Structure 1
Amino acid sequence: MAGNLEGQITSARARRAVPLANSTPMASRFDPRLSTFRMPAPLGPLRFSAPGPTSVPRDDSDIAFAPVTQLSAWIASGALTSRRLTEIYLARIEALGPKLECLAMVTPELARAEADAADALLRAGVNLGPLHGIPYGLKDLFDTKGIVTGWGAEPFRERVPENDATIVRKLRAAGAVLLGKTTVGALAYNDIWYGGRTRNPWNLNEGSSGSSAGSASATAAGLCAFAIGTETLGSITSPSQRCGTTGLRPTFGRVSRAGGMALCWSLDKVGPICRSVEDTAIVLAALNGPDLADRSSIDAPFHFDANADFAGMRLGYLPEAFGEGANAVDHAALEAVRRLGIEVVEVSLPDLPYGSLMNILYAEAAAAFEELTLTDLDDTLTWQDEGAWPNTFRKARFLSAVDHVQLDRLRYQVMLALDGLFSQVDALIGPFMTGPMLIASNFTGHPCLHLRAGFLDVGTRSDASLGEGKLTTGEPDAAGPTFRVPQGISIWGRLFEEGSILNLGMALEREFGVAALRPGLPS
């Protein structure tokens, strides 16, 4: 064997000499569909709820916290202009943004110009849809032409793209107004970025979790109508849990990632972070669609009817997810489902080493940012402890290539396992980080809706962690003061069937009755 090693080393060095941009995809691509999968048929036009009150509140904060469904109706009727709504959010950003450290870049002049253009179209009788004139925040992983897109990391803080990401073009075509770039934990990990630490609006002593840290924080604090997040392994659901927002992680491949920073080509997903369930459906409708610029893009219909009946739905839960570690809000959420008259059944998953799949994430992430490791630019990242990216990238160099292939085969076994589970039930409910579902469903590409279910009184929590092959939400300080903070619940659905979990989520949102509560931020 020793005589053969030199050739292998030479080949590796030759490959390293070829520069590979972050935008260069892998030749192989992940597809969540098994051979037996059948794409759901289109079921007619999208149907959203009827608009609420026609009169606009006098208090700007009541306008700022209104759901997109209501804001859209006010703008369409002429009761509210996009320019006024944009100014309300810009004022809140100026007042609260520095406290929350949730905006990496604010684009006020662009926002005003886009708002004025939206108002002009309406005066001309042109309405581009439910996002027409609605201001939003964009996670600072997505390219915006001529605007710094720094990925939250020191080596890229001066990076200015020459083109817009696909989803930026889609949102502009839908009439949405870009307020600025929301913060992202450096290279899509946690809530620490080159400008500081993004804060949880419900407790400014703790971070907002990540990596869609700024998107969740800004949305929860009423600094935008909605925001865009991404998830590789918890980056939509975790900050939504911490900040009390509603996050929708769509099926892998449904939304284009072209023009977005790649962390893990076979795992990255793009989705909305909002303050209500139906708002996530509105945003997903604008983002949905195939894109030749993303090799993993899948052409799939998106059906949503706000008034659809979920009678006959069979909802599963994993008993261990509601055992040790579950709290009162978790158990109350399960009881709320039963009150809706839905059949709730126990289910199980095969005993597989789901946590081992995280080595796939580590390997892909290390490959995406190999240049940082090989040039020592990783030393410039602020966060340097044992669980942060620099050391994770370094240790990934010691993963066995053979084991990596075997992990891919294990991933297929997990795909079969979840396919079997969803052949028994229409959806699954549970705490988002209890049991194997956060890891398993991210690696299989299944969609997940996370929504606020209640509140807990807990001490300031430590950092969430993805280290050592385990996931934690952070431990509360048992000795210090307590804070009333949101607690959410997750609903997982079948591939490309987001509509059914959104309908269930809307019903639970009404049952919980806590979605409209706001954080008591200092002025």
Structure 2
Amino acid sequence: MDRGDSPTGGRVGRRAALRAAAAACVVTLASEPTTAQDADAITEADLGAALRVTDRAYSEAERALMLPSVREMRRAMRQVRMAAIPQGAEPAIRFDPWVPGVPLPSGRSAFRPTKPVAPADAIDPDSLAFQPVSVLSAMLRARRVTSVELTQMYLQRLRMFDPQLLCVVTLTEELAMRQAEQADREIAAGRWRGPLHGVPWGAKDLLFTKGIRTTFGAKPYEDQIPPTDATVVQRLERAGAVLVAKLSLGELAMGDVWFRGMTRCPWDLTQGSSGSSAGPGAATAAGLVGFSIGTETLGSIVSPCVRNGTTGLRPTYGRVPRTGAMALSWTMDKIGPITRSVEDCALVLHAIAGPDGADMTVRPVPFSWEPAKGLAGLKIGLDEAGFAAQKDEAARAVYDRALDVLRKAGAELKPIRLPSMAGAYAELTNVIDVEGAASFASLIAQGKLADLAQQGPNNWPNIFRVGTTVAGVDYIAMMQLRAQLQREMAAAMADFDCYVTPPYATLVLTNLTGHPTLITRAGMDGRKPIMIEFTGQLYREDAILRVGHVFERAMGTPGGWPKLG
């Protein structure tokens, strides 16, 4: 028997049958009384108006047939919405960036970082604060500086400069001093945990920290205190890193405005730091932390790095576990480092990558860091269309020099033709609107969207409300189109390990496909950093880091770092 038909030819309601079967199960839900008046609240005119919103056209007879089932569907979905679903709970559908036929790294991970020598002469605090992790690590291991000294220095700088930058949500001083003292004891005893041991860092304030508030940058979560640490926080603690601060993010991971105001760029205090990893970007550029952790759904690592001149790595989707991080878009959220050097990104990724048994999107794919290999064997593409689209003359001059530096370093750059994001592909970012509305359904239901600081047409309250109107079949259609885009991207990159491009040129494309991107500085226009990007094959962070490392060694850090008064 098909389609719920009874032996006598009568129609049996599929949902009624399923509800009867489910009655044997014990499910704890908040009950909601259903009255005849409530069931009759939806009229045929209401249904017709709703269908116009979703761009569906059905005949009068079809609408009449639908109406009783639509009333029942509304009741059923209300019951679903009343279930106790915690923020961040992963749905039973998963995105996989991998496309069949695309090779993945295999074998054992290799980790052979460079070995900087601790400076022979003393470094003044203003210079010490801006040293890369690799140098701080060498100094700590040689006991030229202690973790307690570094931690006290960064805590002092966080207090001193936060009034200008507004980048600190919570100073974690008690925890930091405890971790720093432990690091010093272990280092003195010869128990070296690795290159992050004793190095102070800052966490974007959407990573859960046990017993320390995690606000998501939003007033409704201002007093939220998680009972556990995020996986990334746990792993950095195991690596010996010292958490000195929870850093600001634009509310619910958009922009640079949070419940205390706008996080500012240390290069230009009249500008925001961009977002949503606004605090990590500003604090790292201003020398307030050794490194920081950001997240990206659609530009939230790349954009603050562009504004602040920091180096950032957005790993492959499924490289770093998101367990214990605020969920905005399950199929697009990624976690990665923001630093002051390319190698620092590799050191941090090595500590935080790999499955944790909880985030089921994370693959057990090896990550290797062998900078001594340089550019050997790498096939590098050139996004000619992206560079040709640059209209700013200062930026064009910087990019011409940057590409020349790469070629002189041995890179053979060949044109790559990437998928166009025109037409329906341009609409795929609406996936975030729908998933975000689902992720914050309880906030919507409780009427707390009104508590968010920004209430314009392009801010979350309005975006989430609109997201609730997208039909399920349209969400599935977007994901089907996205899979098609993944296949096109796989074909475009088949002959390349990575490609070079200006910032933002392929930002939407690569966030949808899940490819990793490294962003680093190529030059300056006055006090404005000009950045360049390297995007790699899936799980080939090693390739883009090697290219970026060679580029950085040739270029240095043009313009240095911003000094605040």
**TM-score scaled to structure 1, two decimals?**
0.92
1:149 aligns with 2:221: no
1:140 aligns with 2:214: no
The correspondence for 1:438, drawn from 484, 503, 507, is 507
Counterparts of residues 30-179 of structure 1 (less than 5 Å) = 30-42=95-107, 45-55=110-120, 57-179=122-244
Aligned-partner residue type, residue 511 of structure 1 = A
Contact 2:497–2:540 at 8 Å: present in 1 too? no
Contact 1:211–1:239 at 8 Å: present in 2 too? yes
Partner residue in 1 for 2:474: 403
SS of equivalent residue, structure 1 residue 423? coil
Partner residue in 1 for 2:291: 226
Partner residue in 2 for 1:337: 406
Give 1:413 shift: 1.1
Partner residue in 2 for 1:453: 522
Partner residue in 1 for 2:274: 209
Aligned-partner residue type, residue 85 of structure 1 = L
SS of equivalent residue, structure 1 residue 490? strand
Worse-superposed segment, 439-448 or 38-47: 38-47
Aligned-partner residue type, residue 493 of structure 1 = G
1:473-517, Cα deviation, whole Å (9 max, x unpaired): xxxxxxxxxxx2111111100111111111110111122222570
1:393 aligns with 2:436: no
Give 1:398 shift: 2.2
Greater radius of gyration (CA): 2
The correspondence for 1:419, drawn from 487, 490, 498, is 490
Partner residue in 1 for 2:251: 186
Contact 1:57–1:63 at 8 Å: present in 2 too? no
| Distance in structure 2 (CA, Å) of the matches to 1:94 and 1:167 | 25
**Unaligned 5+ residue runs, structure 1?**
458-483
Counterparts of residues 477-496 of structure 1 (less than 5 Å) = 484-496=527-539
Aligned-partner residue type, residue 387 of structure 1 = N
Structure 1 consecutive aligned stretches of length 4 or more whose deviation exceeds 4 Å: none
| Distance in structure 2 (CA, Å) of the matches to 1:34 and 1:286 | 27
Contact 1:276–1:515 at 8 Å: present in 2 too? no
Contact 2:355–2:364 at 8 Å: present in 1 too? yes
Give 1:43 shift: 5.2
Contact 2:118–2:144 at 8 Å: present in 1 too? no
Contact 1:134–1:175 at 8 Å: present in 2 too? yes
Give 1:44 shift: 5.2
When residues 56 and 417 of structure 1 are mapped into structure 2, their CA distance, relative to the original with a 3 A threshold, is: farther
| Distance in structure 2 (CA, Å) of the matches to 1:160 and 1:339 | 52
Counterparts of residues 323-334 of structure 1 (less than 5 Å) = 323-326=388-391, 327-328=395-396, 329-334=398-403
The correspondence for 1:302, drawn from 344, 367, 371, is 367
1:517 aligns with 2:560: yes
Give 1:56 shift: 5.1
Partner residue in 1 for 2:31: none
Give 1:295 shift: 2.2
Aligned length: 494
Give 1:119 shift: 0.3
Worse-superposed segment, 396-405 or 198-207: 396-405
Q: Taking every aligned residue pair, what percent have the same amino acid on both sides?
A: 41
When residues 284 and 350 of structure 1 are mapped into structure 2, their CA distance, relative to the original with a 3 A threshold, is: closer
Contact 1:138–1:181 at 8 Å: present in 2 too? yes
The correspondence for 2:417, drawn from 337, 342, 348, is 348
Contact 2:167–2:248 at 8 Å: present in 1 too? yes
Contact 1:246–1:450 at 8 Å: present in 2 too? yes
Worse-superposed segment, 324-333 or 7-16: 324-333
Partner residue in 2 for 1:373: 444
1:381-438, Cα deviation, whole Å (9 max, x unpaired): 111111111111111122232221111111111111111121122211111212xx21
Say what the alpha-carbon RMSD is for the aligned residues: 1.5
Worse-superposed segment, 170-179 or 318-327: 318-327
When residues 298 and 43 of structure 1 are mapped into structure 2, their CA distance, relative to the original with a 3 A threshold, is: closer
Aligned-partner residue type, residue 354 of structure 2 = G
| Distance in structure 1 (CA, Å) of the matches to 2:283 and 2:378 | 34
| Distance in structure 1 (CA, Å) of the matches to 2:75 and 2:402 | 57
The correspondence for 2:551, drawn from 502, 508, 518, is 508
Aligned-partner residue type, residue 494 of structure 2 = S
| Distance in structure 2 (CA, Å) of the matches to 1:508 and 1:445 | 24
| Distance in structure 1 (CA, Å) of the matches to 2:357 and 2:235 | 14
Contact 1:312–1:343 at 8 Å: present in 2 too? no
| Distance in structure 2 (CA, Å) of the matches to 1:485 and 1:252 | 30
| Distance in structure 2 (CA, Å) of the matches to 1:48 and 1:9 | 57
| Distance in structure 1 (CA, Å) of the matches to 2:402 and 2:154 | 32
Contact 2:286–2:563 at 8 Å: present in 1 too? no
| Distance in structure 2 (CA, Å) of the matches to 1:291 and 1:433 | 31
The correspondence for 1:261, drawn from 292, 310, 326, is 326
The correspondence for 2:305, drawn from 240, 243, 249, is 240
Aligned-partner residue type, residue 81 of structure 1 = T
SS of equivalent residue, structure 2 residue 331? coil
| Distance in structure 1 (CA, Å) of the matches to 2:367 and 2:387 | 31
SS of equivalent residue, structure 1 residue 254? coil
Give 1:332 shift: 2.9
Contact 1:143–1:161 at 8 Å: present in 2 too? yes
**TM-score scaled to structure 2, two decimals?**
0.85
Contact 1:32–1:252 at 8 Å: present in 2 too? yes
| Distance in structure 2 (CA, Å) of the matches to 1:108 and 1:18 | 38
Give 1:340 shift: 2.0
Give 1:318 shift: 2.6
1:157-202, Cα deviation, whole Å (9 max, x unpaired): 0000111111111001000000010101100001001111111010
When residues 397 and 71 of structure 1 are mapped into structure 2, their CA distance, relative to the original with a 3 A threshold, is: same
Aligned-partner residue type, residue 289 of structure 2 = C
Contact 1:349–1:418 at 8 Å: present in 2 too? yes
| Distance in structure 2 (CA, Å) of the matches to 1:380 and 1:252 | 31
Partner residue in 1 for 2:342: 277
| Distance in structure 1 (CA, Å) of the matches to 2:429 and 2:163 | 34
